[in-house]
């Protein structure tokens, strides 16, 4: 009985194996029925796959992510380092671009005035707590710098060289409370004494009590004896307010400098200057406003249907 059962199962196995081999043969011969069966299976599976895709896609990479967590951390660290390095490069490039712009403008001013200059980088600002306003330049006597040379930026006067070492120089800024320089109003011969206040604004005291001065006037250096420290015609600043107090012995005004003294990067020390006075030719040009395009819209009212009908009617009549 057991042998009979065993024979039947063996027969079953053989028949199933033969069926499997038959299917393989059919498939290798390219019977389309099996391809149809596969596509039918795909049709059955597709809704489930779509549903699973919707449900499980956020967690599908869970195991892979766990496996790659070490690599991901390394990659993150590398990217952080790279990001830091790129940020440093961006900062350096921005700094260099700013310095280049300043150098271009200072050389432009020196070229127009025909000054022989030595460009320098501001490497330090003096302590404000000492009430002195100074900056340190990265050039000194080895570059031909000496005491009492004028220092300019692309916009105008910055200060005067006060102390020189072999490779550095300390400049007294125009804003220093002890700083004094002779100036004249551009376009006129009205002269005055400019003095620093320790802030970004200067005091101007006219030499002539009857002198005429108004807001917006441009001040230029008057020139010193032997052109030291200042050659004539270097732009200084503009008058922002005038003190017209009755009874004052002299006229006073507040001046804003052309140079941004708090953000100096590249400056130039005037080594030799032209013998002739450039007069008012070095005054910085006022920025030209960019015209904003305007759009004009014309609106024509459309006649209403009612009005149209009444027109038709009246035409019919």
| Residues in touch with other proteins (CB under 8 A) | 6, 8-9, 12-13, 16-17, 19-28, 34, 37-42, 44-45, 48-49, 51-53, 56-57, 60-68
Q: Report the 10 Å Cβ neighbour count for 203.
A: 16
Q: Minimal distance in Å, beta carbon 76 to other proteins?
A: 18
Structure tokens at 2: 């057991």
Q: Minimal distance in Å, beta carbon 29 to other proteins?
A: 10
Per-residue DSSP letter, 128: G
70 or 226: whose CB is closer to other proteins? 70
Query: In 3D, which of 252, 174, 175, 187 has the Cα closest to residue 218?
Result: 187
39 or 309: whose CB is closer to other proteins? 39
Q: Minimal distance in Å, beta carbon 50 to other proteins?
A: 9
Query: In 3D, which of 227, 99, 236 has the Cα closest to residue 156?
Result: 236
60 or 144: whose CB is closer to other proteins? 60
Q: Are 257 and 175 in contact (CB under 8 A)?
A: yes
Q: Minimal distance in Å, beta carbon 72 to other proteins?
A: 12
69 or 91: whose CB is closer to other proteins? 69
Q: Minimal distance in Å, beta carbon 8 to other proteins?
A: 7
46 or 308: whose CB is closer to other proteins? 46
Which run of H or of E encompasses 245?
none
DSSP 300-317: -PPPPHHHHHHHHHHHH-
Number of residues that make up the chain: 317
């Amino acid at each position: 009985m057991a042998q009979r059962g065993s024979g039947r199962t063996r027969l079953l196995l053989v028949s199933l194996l033969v069926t499997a081999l038959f299917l393989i043969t059919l498939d290798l011969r390219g019977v389309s029925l099996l391809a149809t069966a596969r596509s039918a299976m795909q049709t059955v599976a597709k809704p489930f796959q779509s549903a699973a895709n919707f449900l499980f896609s956020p967690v599908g990479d869970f195991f892979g992510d766990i496996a790659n967590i070490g690599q991901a951390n390394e990659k993150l660290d590398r990217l952080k380092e790279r990001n830091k390095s790129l940020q440093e490069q961006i900062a350096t490039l921005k700094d260099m671009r700013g310095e280049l712009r300043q150098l271009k403008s200072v050389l432009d001013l020196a070229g127009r005035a025909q000054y022989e200059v030595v460009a320098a980088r501001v490497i330090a600002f003096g302590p404000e707590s000492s009430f002195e306003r100074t900056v340190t330049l990265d050039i000194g006597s080895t570059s031909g710098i000496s005491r009492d040379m004028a220092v300019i930026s692309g916009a105008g006067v910055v200060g005067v060289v006060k102390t020189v070492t072999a490779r550095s120089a300390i400049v007294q800024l125009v804003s220093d409370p002890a700083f004094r320089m002779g100036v004249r109003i551009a376009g006129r011969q009205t002269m005055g004494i400019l003095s620093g206040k320790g802030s970004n604004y200067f005091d101007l005291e006219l030499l002539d009590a009857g002198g005429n001065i108004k807001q917006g006037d441009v001040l230029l250096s008057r020139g010193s004896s032997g052109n030291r420290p200042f050659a004539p015609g270097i732009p200084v600043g503009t008058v922002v307010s005038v003190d017209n107090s009755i009874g004052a012995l002299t006229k006073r005004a507040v001046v804003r400098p052309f140079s941004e003294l708090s953000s100096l990067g590249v400056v130039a020390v005037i080594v030799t200057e032209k013998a002739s006075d450039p007069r008012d030719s070095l005054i910085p040009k006022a920025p030209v406003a960019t015209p904003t395009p305007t759009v004009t819209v014309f609106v024509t009212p459309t006649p209403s249907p009612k009005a149209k009908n009444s027109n038709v009617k009246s035409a019919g009549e």
